[in-house]
Amino acid sequence: MSANYEVRGNVAVITLDNPPVNGLGHATRLGIAQGLEKANADANVKAIVITGAGKAFSGGADIKEFGSPKALAEPNLLSVILAIEASDKPTVAAIHTVCMGGGLELALGCNYRVVQAGTQIALPEVKLGLLPGAGGTQRLPRVLGAENALNIIVSGEPVPAEMLAKAPGQKLFDKLVDANVLDAAIAFAQEKADVRPAPLVRNLKAQHPQREAYFQFARNMVGGMSKNFPAPLRCVDAVEAAFTKKFDDGMRAERELFTALMFTPESKALRHLFMAERAASKIPDVPSDTPTREIKKVGVIGAGTMGGGISMNFLNAGIPVTILETKQEALDRGVATIRKNYEAQVKKGKLKQDKYDQRMALLSTTLNYADLKDSDLVIEAVFEELGVKEAVFKTLDEVVKPGAILASNTSTLDVNKIAAFTKRPQDVVGMHFFSPANVMKLLEVVRGEKTAKDVLATVMQIGKKIKKTCVVSGVCDGFIGNRMIEQYSRQAGFLLDEGASPEQVDKAIEKFGFAMGPFRMGDLAGNDIGWAIRKRRSVEKPGMRYSKTADLLCEIGRYGQKTGAGWYDYVPGKRDAIPSPVVTEMIDKHRASLGITPRKISDEEIVQRLVFSLVNEGAKIVEEGIAARASDIDMVYLTGYGFPMHRGGPMQYADEVGLFNVAAAMKRFAKNPNDDAEFWQPAPLLAKLAAEGKTFS
């Protein structure tokens, strides 16, 4: 698809037509250029209108083209905008719905802009680790001034057109209409057909009374928010060039800054994230138009931390929830926690009182399963033990109406076994929320062998409605995230056995970008949780070797912050992790018992063993079909496990390092007698891609 051309009266209309959002791919750019030529060659044409078909004026440059020769193929976006400015006949942009990135830059090249109220205006390039690279940093300040332009460029956030159209002194929009923007633009074009010279944004002067002071202030403000990302500060540099350089020199400065950012790992990570987020919503064998079941009422079993957090997600989306517990005091405790959470948001000004009241009005509680019979979706969040799940699902199977979806929030148990407790396994699915469930974005949607396709499509849809990033996982021990974190935790323990300290490991991986290293995380979440899982797994997988240090820690009751001591010591009431002589001695003794002479371990080895353990297990998960694609693994780790955004996820990071180098490192680790040679054999998928010089994505 490209751009359509027609003449209405004496006005040529060029319509961008590249569904779904009129991305400015090569064919579309070519179509616009050809339309301009045609219009300028047609004596009957007095003016030109440019607009977009469907649900957008334009969502900007075609992100899917990035990195391919097409992205720069002539006419590139800069050439198209220059052609618009060079047009003999006046050009009017008819802007509606979405006008973002290169789409707004295209409109800024026109002589005039007519916009429809409700249009979302944005320059979101910074969210891709970039900056507007087709004149946005030079033209927008000329029509909006420094402050408004810089806010839009550095935030990347959309702003309603009507707000900008009413800004004092703005020259971004020449006319704001409520509807029928194309008709209005054609009429406007006819009015302006003979005005010469037609105005051009490039001829406006960008001025600021205290330019130096303002941009210094802007750098200080932006510098704080962009610790791991260079783009926001580069945006400030580019916008300042509009105030210190001639237009063409400013354009050259913008181009240099844009091109440099295009090749940074951070931008590649963010562009990967943009595509990965959208890919995760696609289930290969479930068509995107699969009919879904209506979810009007939700039941939640269990009013504990998870049950309460899960309930809040649905209340926040305006969906009524009935929470069931076995005892009234458990219900009362659960509701009180929900209230406390909302009241904290109201106090911080993040939630209006009336919204809080509305949400609480949607919440009901019960001790009686019969009250769940009309639920369209029931999610159990009871004790993580198969026997308990069996009792719950057998009862649900008896009580809840046919066609209801029965979901388990289990984090490690076999969803197929849970489904088999019912006579409707096709309606059973895993919905694995991450604690705190009302905050963490990740939702692992675990499909059982018999889970129906419309159940999956429904859960993905409702998951998006409650603002979760949904990733589909097959059934295996730990699904995607926890299965991988087990290897990460094993490596952390082996590093202690071999000579590292908890604080060295934590500091190394936190310097890499994780919010919290494995030992501080253990102290926060509770070391006894992992202890219970290791006990269960030692029965199921006796061959799986672990460092004993974590068990030794729990055996002396050091569960973490909740017991006042864990891997670290804590001052009561404070969360600062203090290296513990008790733990140091415990580790030293354990090492001696293993006959290991401690060695100095580099931060690089620590980071590689922790991160590459995720990569290797992730590659196995993809080749087993538990995850549909490598980028799903990245979505799980970016939204559920605090993997640093600027690295793009474990698989993206491995691509950046180079799979050949990753495989080579794994082979080195396999030679370490205190490590796990079998685990470090590169997964077949990884070995294959490395050998072929390919990447996961």
Instruction: Please identify every residue annotated as catalytic.
Output: 105, 125
Q: Which is nearer to ligand T1G, 118 or 436 (CB)?
A: 118
Q: What is the DSSP string of 105-132?
A: HHHHHSSEEEEETT-EEE-GGGGGT---
Residue with tokens 């941009």: 215
- Helix residue spans in 166-304 (DSSP H): 181-192, 211-225, 231-244, 247-262, 265-279
Q: What angle do CA 433, 271, 241 make, to 5 degrees?
A: 130
Shortest reach from residue 178's CB to ligand T1G, in Å: 21
Rounded to whole angstroms, how far apart are CA atoms 104 and 150? 15
CB count in 10 Å sphere of residue 279 = 16
Shortest reach from residue 375's CB to ligand T1G, in Å: 29
Residue 3, interface with ligand T1G (CB under 6 A)? Answer: no
Residue nearest to ligand T1G (CB): 101
The DSSP call for residue 24 is -
Site string for ligand T1G, 324-363 (x = CB under 6 A): ----------------------------------------
Residue 129, interface with ligand T1G (CB under 6 A)? Answer: no
Rounded to whole angstroms, how far apart are CA atoms 101 and 665? 40
Q: Which of 23, 35, 463, 502 binds ligand T1G (CB under 6 A)?
A: 23
Task: Give the sign of the dihedral formed by CA 184, CA 187, CA 189, CA 191.
Answer: negative
Tokens of 529: 């949780």
Q: Which is nearer to ligand T1G, 33 or 611 (CB)?
A: 33
Q: Which is nearer to ligand T1G, 133 or 474 (CB)?
A: 133
Q: Which of 166, 278, 340, 350 binds ligand T1G (CB under 6 A)?
A: 278
Cα torsion at 254, 255, 258, 263 (round to 10°)? -150
Rounded to whole angstroms, how far apart are CA atoms 251 and 82? 12
Q: Which is nearer to ligand T1G, 132 or 649 (CB)?
A: 132
Shortest reach from residue 66's CB to ligand T1G, in Å: 8
Q: Which is nearer to ligand T1G, 125 or 325 (CB)?
A: 125
Q: Which is nearer to ligand T1G, 16 or 419 (CB)?
A: 16
Residue 443: its H or E element: strand 442-446
**What's the Cα-to-Cα distance from 82 to each of 79, 125, 429, 697, rounded to whole Å?**
5, 21, 54, 35
Residue 62, interface with ligand T1G (CB under 6 A)? Answer: yes
Residue 470: its H or E element: strand 469-473
Select from 616, 629, 627, 593 the least CA-distant residue to 663: 616
Number of residues counted as binding ligand T1G (CB under 6 A): 24
Q: Which of 31, 109, 133, 474 binds ligand T1G (CB under 6 A)?
A: 133
Q: Which of 63, 159, 273, 445 binds ligand T1G (CB under 6 A)?
A: 63
Rounded to whole angstroms, how far apart are CA atoms 468 and 442? 6
Q: Maximum distance among all alpha carbons in the chain?
A: 93
Distance between alpha carbon 236 and the CA centroid of its chain, in Å? 25
Q: Which is nearer to ligand T1G, 105 or 380 (CB)?
A: 105
Residue 464, interface with ligand T1G (CB under 6 A)? Answer: no
The DSSP call for residue 175 is E
User: Considering only residues 109-128, where is the footprint of ligand T1G by CB under 6 A?
Assistant: 124-125, 128
Residue 650, interface with ligand T1G (CB under 6 A)? Answer: no
Which of the ranges 56-64, 446-454, 568-576, 578-586 carries the binding residues for ligand T1G, by CB under 6 A? 56-64
Q: What is the DSSP string of 28-93?
A: HHHHHHHHHHHHHH-TT--EEEEEE-TT-SB--S-GGGTTSGGGGSSS-HHHHHHHHHH-SS-EEE
Shortest reach from residue 23's CB to ligand T1G, in Å: 3
Shortest reach from residue 112's CB to ligand T1G, in Å: 21
User: Considering only residues 505-564, where is the footprint of ligand T1G by CB under 6 A?
Assistant: none
Which of the ranges 129-137, 477-485, 508-516, 685-693 carries the binding residues for ligand T1G, by CB under 6 A? 129-137
Shortest reach from residue 19's CB to ligand T1G, in Å: 8
Q: Which of 90, 129, 132, 566 binds ligand T1G (CB under 6 A)?
A: 132
Residue 31, interface with ligand T1G (CB under 6 A)? Answer: no
Shortest reach from residue 101's CB to ligand T1G, in Å: 3
Residue 432: its H or E element: strand 428-433
Shortest reach from residue 696's CB to ligand T1G, in Å: 19
Contact 106, 84 (CB under 8 A): yes
Rg of the chain, C-alpha, whole Å:
29
The DSSP call for residue 371 is G
Q: Which long-range contacts (CB under 8 A, 24 or more apart) does 673-676 make?
A: 674/494, 674/497, 674/498, 674/594, 674/596, 675/491, 675/494, 675/498, 675/609, 676/490, 676/494, 676/545
Tokens of 588: 């030293």
Shortest reach from residue 123's CB to ligand T1G, in Å: 7
Residue 284, interface with ligand T1G (CB under 6 A)? Answer: no
Q: Which residues pair with 122 in a beta bridge?
A: 100
Rounded to whole angstroms, how far apart are CA atoms 92 and 185? 7
Residue 64, interface with ligand T1G (CB under 6 A)? Answer: yes
Q: Which is nearer to ligand T1G, 100 or 665 (CB)?
A: 100
Shortest reach from residue 638's CB to ligand T1G, in Å: 17
Which of the ranges 40-48, 57-65, 458-466, 558-566 carries the binding residues for ligand T1G, by CB under 6 A? 57-65
- Helix residue spans in 400-443 (DSSP H): 415-419
Q: Which is nearer to ligand T1G, 98 or 392 (CB)?
A: 98
Residue 77, interface with ligand T1G (CB under 6 A)? Answer: yes
Q: Which is nearer to ligand T1G, 64 or 171 (CB)?
A: 64
Residue 463, interface with ligand T1G (CB under 6 A)? Answer: no
Tokens of 382: 């009871």
Q: Which is nearer to ligand T1G, 156 or 334 (CB)?
A: 156
User: Considering only residues 83-102, where is the footprint of ligand T1G by CB under 6 A?
Assistant: 98, 100-102
The binding site for ligand T1G (CB under 6 A) comprises 20-21, 23, 59-64, 77, 98, 100-102, 105, 124-125, 128, 130, 132-134, 136, 278
